[in-house]
Amino acid sequence: MSQQVTEQVRGHYIGGEWTDGGGETFESENPATGETLATFERGTEADVDAALEAAEEAFEEWRDLSYIDRAEYLWDIYHELRDRHEELGEIVSKECGKEISEGKADVTEAWHMVEWAAGNARHPHGDVVPSEVAGKDSYMRRKPRGVVGCITPWNFPVAIPFWHMAIALVEGNTVVWKPAEQTPWCGHVIAEMMDDAGVPEGVFNMIQGFGDAGEAITDDERVDTVLFTGSAAVGHEIAGKVGGEPGKLAACEMGGKNGIVVTEKADMDTAVHAAIMSSFKTTGQRCVSSERLIVHEDVYDEFKDRFVDVAEDISVGDPLEEDTFMGPAIEADHVEKIRRHNDLAREEGATVLVDRFELEDQEIPEGHEDGAATAADGERSGSYANGHWVGPFVYEIDYEPDLRCLNEECFGPHVALLEYAGDVEDAVEIHNDTPYGLAGAIISEDYRQLNYFRDHAEVGLAYANLPCIGAEVQLPFGGVKKSGNGYPSAREAIEAVTERTAWTMNNADEIEMAQGLSADIKTSED
C-alpha cells in the first residue's frame, strides 16, 4: 500500500478476499497534522458474521497441518517486516503519532514476535509425565481451541497484533481480527502481508471498524478464545461476558496506574532518566507509562528539581523528526481526557510544577501551528487545528489513598510526585495502593530493597533500575488486579489459545490402576 494519501476506500479481508462492505466509511487521521491518510469501510455485524464463518470453515484443514508447515507462512511475513522496516516504521509514526524511533521499534517488536512464534514450531511441545504404573505412558498434549478473536489497540498497531495472531496461527487456530479504529492503515498493511504470504483462505480475517464490530466478534459463540489488549473498561466488559460462557476463554491485558519507587539509595542519574522515559515516552500513551513517582524524603528535593528541569524542556514535535521525544496525542477526544485529568489533580489539591498542556505557539512543530481549536465552552483546548498537541503536566501532592488523581489512569503525560518517609516497605505500600497492577519499577543501589520490591509489588511487570516500560517478546506481558486476567503474548498466550489433554496409554498386557484401585471384574457367579 502506498504511503501517499489516496481517495480509495479500503475494505475488509475475509476468506482470502478483499471485500467491500458497502456501508459507512471512516478515515484514518495523522494526529500530528490532522491530515486524512486513507478511508476505510466500517465493519458491520454482517461483515463479522462472514469472517467468523470463513474462520470456522478453515479451521479443520488448518489444524491438520504440522506446526512447521503452519509456521512457514509466518517466515514470509517475518522477512517482509524486516525488509520494510523503515517504510512501516514511518507509517506507524504517521498514523499513531509515535516518534520515529518508536515507530520503527514497533515493527522490530513485531518481527521478533513472529520469529519467536515461528521458531517455537520446531521446539519440543508437550510433556512426558511419570505414571504410578510402570506399564503406562502419560503425556500432556496441546490442541488448538478453534476460532480466536483478536482486538488490538492503536498505540502499538503492528507489534501487538502479532503478539496475538502469530502464536494463535502457529498453534493451529484461525483468526478474526479487528484493529483499532485509530490505526486502520497499519491493519490494512498487516492484512496485505498475510495475503502476500499465501495464508490459506479463511485462516486469517480482518474487519475494520469500531467497538460494535469488536463486540460482535467477542460475543459470538463461534469464537473460542478472545485475546484483547486495550482499556480496562472494555477489557473488563469482555472478561465478564466471556467468563459466563462455558468453555470460552478471554486473555485481557489492560491499563495501569503505574508507579516508580525512588529510594534513598537510588542513583539520581538513573532515577531521573528512568522516570522521564516512563512518564513521557509515547506521550504517556503506553499501558505501562508511569503516572506516579514515589520518592524518598532524603532525595525528594533533588529528584524533583532535576525531573522538573527535564520535563520543562522535553522536545515535543513532529514524530517523523529524529530530534523529537514526544509526538502528539492520538486524537482530539483524548486531548480532552488528558485536560480533565489535569484539572482533577488541581481540584484535589495538587501543586502544579510543570504545565505544558497548552503549548506555546513556538513549541508547535513548524507548519502545524495554524491556530488552536476551542472546546465547547470557547476556551483553548490544547488540540490544534493541524494536530493534537499536548506537553508534560507534572504535579506534587500529599499522598491520600482516596484521591482520584492517584487511582484513575490518564493515559497521557500526566505525572504525580509523591514524597514518602520510612523504609522500602512504606514505599511499596503506597505503590500497591491502586486498583491497577500492570507495571512498576524501583530505583535503588541496595539489592535488599530491589528484592523486596520484586517480591511484594503487586504487578505483572517489574523493573529494577530501568524505565517502567519495555517489552521483550519472550517474556509474558500482562498484569494483576484491574490490569488484566491474562498474558496475551509469548508462551503465556499459548495457554489461552490451546486446550491441554492428559493422554495416558497402557503398554502392558493387563490393566493396572493407580492409587491401588482394583481392576478386578467381579460378577455374581464369583
- List the one residue out of 316, 260, 291 whose CA is nearest residue 98: 316
Using the structure block, give the residue that is written with the C-alpha cell 511487570.
Answer: 461
> Which is it for strands 36-41 and 25-29: parallel, antiparallel or unpaired?
antiparallel
Say which amino acid occupies 125. H
State yes or no: is 287 an active-site residue.
yes
- List the one residue out of 430, 393, 399 whose CA is nearest residue 413: 393
Q: What does R_g of the chain's alpha carbons equal in angstroms?
A: 25
DSSP state of 230: S
Kindly name the residue from 287, 405, 410, 468 that is annotated as catalytic.
287
In whole angstroms, what is the distance from residue 459 CA to residue 469 CA? Answer: 13
Say which amino acid occupies 387. G
Say which amino acid occupies 92. V
Instruction: Please count the other Cβ atoms lying within 10 Å of the Cβ belonging to residue 282.
Output: 25
In whole angstroms, what is the distance from residue 335 CA to residue 322 CA? Answer: 24
Please give the grid coordinates belonging to residue 386.
Answer: 493541524
Say which amino acid occupies 227. L
Please give the grid coordinates belonging to residue 206.
Answer: 480482518
DSSP state of 43: P
DSSP state of 200: P
Bridge partners of residue 380, in order along the sequence: 374
Half-sphere exposure for 381 (CA within 13 Å, toward CB): 19
How distant, in Å, are the alpha carbons of 4, 92, 143, 325, 487 from that of 101? 21, 10, 39, 9, 26
- Give 444: exposed, middle or buried? Use CB within 10 Å, 0-12, 13-18, 19+: buried
Could you tell me if 454 and 464 are in contact, meaning their C-beta atoms sit under 8 angstroms apart? Answer: yes
How distant, in Å, are the alpha carbons of 60, 235, 271, 415, 509 from that of 460? 35, 16, 21, 21, 49
Say which amino acid occupies 238. I
- List the one residue out of 150, 152, 141, 188 whose CA is nearest residue 169: 150
- How many secondary structure helices (H) and strands (E) does the chain include? 14, 24
- List the one residue out of 184, 161, 66 whose CA is nearest residue 111: 161
Instruction: Please count the other Cβ atoms lying within 10 Å of the Cβ belonging to residue 426.
Output: 14
Residue 215 makes CB contacts below 8 A (sequence gap 6+) with none
Instruction: Please count the other Cβ atoms lying within 10 Å of the Cβ belonging to residue 340.
Output: 11
Please give the grid coordinates belonging to residue 373.
Answer: 481549536
Catalytic residues: 287
